[in-house]
Structure 1
Amino acid sequence: MKKNDEQSLSFLGLGIMGKPMAKNLLKAGYSLNVHNRSQKPVDELKKQGAQKANTPKEAAENSNIIITMLPNSPDVESVVLGENGIIEGAKAGQIVIDMSSIEPLVSQRIAGELGKKGVEMLDAPVSGGEPGAIKGELAIMVGGKEKIFKKCLPIFNVLGKSAVLVGDVGAGGFAKLANQIIVAMNIAAVSEAFVLGQKAGLNPEKLFQAIRGGLAGSNVMDAKIPLITERNFHPGFKIKLHDKDIKNVLKTAADLQVPLPLTELIEQIMTSLLADGKGELDHGGMIRYFEKLAGVEVRTL
């Protein structure tokens, strides 16, 4: 697909992830309409060439592909199917790409409603956090029709380093749930290990260098330990949002009758962090739970 008026885009949701993603599309030469609940990021993107859409309906009326990047399932349902929503301005042949992390069954229901108007949908959640969004290096997990995926692949190539069609609509969401289990457990494992090391008197930076090249090494460790040792918990992905994903995992697992005992434990840890006022921290801040129990802080010695 070429970057011309026939490929005008709208981007709805300019938060931690959405704003840098929209910026990358502008840099790549796409014509972009933007919409967000708060005005500040809209003004910022207007200075870079974007046009403002006052409502999701207006965004759909003025573009052929509409991308949403929103916090949760109710937000996506409201923006797509609600009053002045995308569905009210959409017409046959348009494409909605939802890149939010929501319940797969909700994605399927939304796709069904859009399909009644001849509008196609891809669910395309991402992994990589704010750094990946800024660099255009997200991993994108896509569900939908292959021909629609191929049509949108140039967009995905701007936003990410990989985009994989996993299956039909909803499959992207199922893949993201699996991803979020692994990331959460990896953070928890890294947290326990480094709290143990700190309590034993090890320098966390030397511990990091000692084990990162072996089987225990991971992208999560590489991304989070340098920030943890600096006590930098500025959110690339908030604990409260990861908790939302884990709750979606458990709801989906219950529907499918899949026992996930370790994920249940992770959810309890995250609930404890939320109760302790830590929900706005980066999810690497999960280590604060383990530090509090052990009476130490993992930091540069």
Structure 2
Amino acid sequence: MRVGVLGLGNMGTAIALRLVEKGFKVRVWNRTKSKAEKIAQEHNLAVEETPKKLVENTYTTIVMISDDKAFREVFYDNNGILQGIRPNYILINSSTTTPMLSIELASVLRKHKAFLIEAPVLGGPKVARKGELIIMVSGPQEQVENIKEVLSALGEIVYVSNHIGDAMVLKLAFNALLISNLQLLSETLGLVEAWNIDTIKIKEILSKTIFKPIIEKYYSRLLAESYPVSFRLALAVKDLEYARKTAEEKNQPVPLISTAATIFRLAANHGYGEEDYSRISLFIRRHKK
């Protein structure tokens, strides 16, 4: 089966390479063509000139790009996805977007007798390479079955519903909870340090409670002076703001998520945007009154 991957950031690249390893014929497109060509030279990938060509030459395409704006551009622009769409084509939205975007694009595709399937994922690039992602899926069951082979190669499928938008709401809810907890844990470490108490003591205490998995996973990462980028802090800002925007769509107050979005935005403005999102700890613990 020929599968397209549109967007070769850390996650898109990991997904493309995993699919190649599982025997799929993978074709890719990336806004920065030189990056796509470099990856293609190192692995068994074919590079397409435009999103239109990518869709024309594949059975289905997984889109993994940064935000709503970028998705709309590659979808609607000249030589974009929409120009290559044919009846019964299945476009997979694995980006973290707003559910409102998914609903919009699904409506457009239906007019062309094509389909959008939401399939946002939990897990980073290393998890994707091992095929151990958790994939939340929304969309018509018949079409989900048609791409089950592709998604199963990447991880465990959790079918949410046939309503487009539902899977993305769950993805944003998860990300908001995770990202906000990193801020709270950073503040906790800062409080302990401010009183000149060794942070290993709070780790020891939390490890005896329900917080054990969190402190064991993130303690060293939050205290490290530097950490390899697995998820950019700027994307954490975007996800928190999308979660807030999604809640506002239904008039649901989310004060803690809104506050976290503000704090992460401040961290990005202080130069941490392109660093790993765990650098929120450095921002909080170093920027005192």
Shorter-chain TM-score: which interval?
over 0.9
User: Secondary structure of the equivalent of 1:17?
Assistant: helix
1:245 paired to 2:239: yes
Residue of structure 1 in register with 2:67 after alignment: 72
Does the Cα contact within 8 Å between 1:35 and 1:42 map onto a contact in 2? Answer: no
Other-structure match for 1:158? 153
**Of residues 255, 279, 285 in structure 2, which corresponds to 1:285?**
279
Corresponding position of 1:26: 20
Distance in 2 separating the partners of 1:294 and 1:155: 48
Q: Structure 1 residues 140, 232: closer, same or farther in 2, change over 3 A?
A: farther
CA–CA separation in structure 2 for the residues paired with 1:132 and 1:109: 30
Deviation readout 1:223-281 (Å, 9 max, x if unpaired): 33222333233221111111111111111211210011111110111121022111111
TM-score w.r.t. structure 2 length?
Answer: 0.92
The aligned length equals 287
Pairing 1:122–2:121 present: no
Task: Report the CA distance between 1:46 and its aligned residue.
Answer: 3.9
In structure 2, what is the Cα distance between the partners aligned to 1:142 and 1:54? 29
Quote the RMSD (CA, aligned, Å).
1.9
Structure 1's 223 and 216: CA in aligned 2 closer, same or farther, altered over 3 A?
Answer: closer
Shift of 1:283: 1.2
In the other structure, the counterpart of 1:234 is 228
Instruction: Output the CA distance in 2 between the equivalents of 1:212 and 1:153.
Output: 39
Deviation at 1:65, TM superposition (A): 0.6
User: Does structure 2 retain, via aligned residues, the 8 Å contact 1:78–1:85?
Assistant: yes
AA in 2 matched with 1:65: T
Cα-to-partner distance string for 1:197-240 (whole Å, 9 max, x where unaligned):
33344444564354235212235x44332223332332211111
How many Å apart are 1:184 and its aligned residue? 1.5
In structure 2, the residue corresponding to 1:285 is in which secondary structure?
helix
- 1:104 paired residue number: 99
CA distance in 1 between partners of 2:12 and 2:53 (Å): 19
Instruction: Report the counterpart of residue 177 of structure 1 in structure 2.
Output: 172
What letter is aligned with 2:123?
A: G
Once the two structures are superposed, residues 158-199 of structure 1 have per-residue CA deviations (whole angstroms, 9 ceiling, x without a partner) of 222x32121211111111111121112211121122223333
1:15 matched to 2:16? The reply is no
* Residue number in structure 2 paired with 1:61: 56
Structure 1 unaligned segments of length 5 or more: list them: 1-6, 296-301
The 5 Å alignment of 1:182-193 reads 182-193=177-188
Distance 1:53 1:26 in 2: 16
Residues 188/86 of structure 1: CA separation in 2 closer, same or farther (3 Å cut): same
Q: Which one of the candidate residues 191, 203, 218 is aligned to 1:224?
A: 218
Aligned amino acid, residue 134 of structure 1: R
Shift of 1:19: 0.6
Q: Corresponding residue for 1:47?
A: 42
Amino acid in structure 1 at the alignment position of 2:168: G
Could you tell me which amino acid in structure 1 is paired with residue 234 of structure 2? K
CA distance in 1, matches of 2:42, 2:274: 29
Match of 1:132 in 2: 127
Structure 2 stretches of 5 or more lacking a match?
Answer: none
- Contact 2:28 2:36 survives alignment (8 Å): no
